[in-house]
Amino acid sequence: MNFPVTKLVTDSSTPALTVPPGSFVAIRFGLAGLAFSPLLARSEDLGKTLRAGAEVGIYLALGYVSQAVGLVTEGAGEAGFLCSLQVVFVTLVGAVRKGGITFREGLSAMLAVAGVGVLEGIGGGMELGPGFWLLMLQPFMFGMSYLRIEKYMKSTDSLSFTASQLIFTALFAGIYSVVGEGGVEGLAGSFGGIVGDGWLSPQALAVAYTAVFGTIISIALETEALKHVSPRETSVVLTTEPLIAGLGGAWLLHEQFQGWLGAALILGASAVTFLPAFGGEGGEGGGGETGE
């Protein structure tokens, strides 16, 4: 649901709701970081936690800002498909580091991407709109964030690390907003516009939804999960997001939903990854692909 909600708020075709993309990301992560900031006290090495959060925050900010800017001109479903390519990126990085790729890893990656492609009707061709190349940053930036989170989770408290990621993502997105969208006044004006009509206005509800469900909960769960499963497995599971994006786009934005074959392929990718019948063991374990 993050894709359609973000598009709804940043799309200029709905001027009553429009918030600049960078401002939207900065405010979304700023609220999430503020809520989680007391958990920094859990860290046994605050300096290390902040440095780790700063590194991952760069990747997340680049991923989420490029996503929000790209969604101004591209569809939520198309953004979801391009984001799903993170499973290919992470699988290839793992293959390079391990010196090879197993049949199960290759099959699950192909099923996941094919499923999202069928879901979004990519077989008929994808139009390269002005936001396409920005959306193409998603798989690389989000994929890198998973790889780095896994490394840091070997010696970092997950909740304090999550807080650090949220804070630095907000900071870097805020820098983009200030430099590229209208200065400090523009960012402050965006926040005032969001809450000016009350916390039950469409803009405020959208920011609250993405801050809580799309930011705090999702990043906290991803961070904790990467202590137990590999980035590749995480990326396979997250290919279900375009399915949710497609359903959300059909509901909120009246975009065309392509059907259930793609959904079956996506779920098949998860089955190949995790079910023992396909050689999965319910998780390869963190640290299995990335090394130090």
What are the sequence ranges of the domains in the chain?
A: 2-278
Element (H, E) at 231: helix 231-237
The first and second tokens of residue 19, run together, are: 């918030």
Residue 156 per-residue DSSP state: S
pLDDT tens sequence for the chain (292 residues)? 566 677 767 665 555 557 888 998 999 999 999 999 999 999 999 999 999 999 999 999 999 999 999 988 887 777 877 888 888 899 899 888 888 888 888 888 888 888 877 766 655 555 667 888 899 999 999 999 999 999 999 889 999 999 999 999 999 999 999 998 888 888 888 887 777 766 777 778 878 888 888 889 989 999 998 988 888 888 888 777 767 666 666 666 666 655 567 777 887 887 787 776 555 545 555 554 444 4
Q: Is there a contact between 231 and 89 (Cβ–Cβ < 8 Å)?
A: no
CA triple 249-175-71, angle to 5 deg: 15
* Number of C-beta neighbours around residue 256 at 10 A: 12
CB distance 73 to 10 below 8 Å: no
**Residue-level pLDDT at 124:** 53
Among 14, 5, 121, smallest CA distance to 68 is for 5
**Per-residue pLDDT at 202:** 73
Q: How far apart are CA 92 and CA 202, in angstroms?
A: 40
Answer positive or negative: Cα dihedral of 168, 284, 136, 10.
negative
Check residue 256 and give its pLDDT: 61
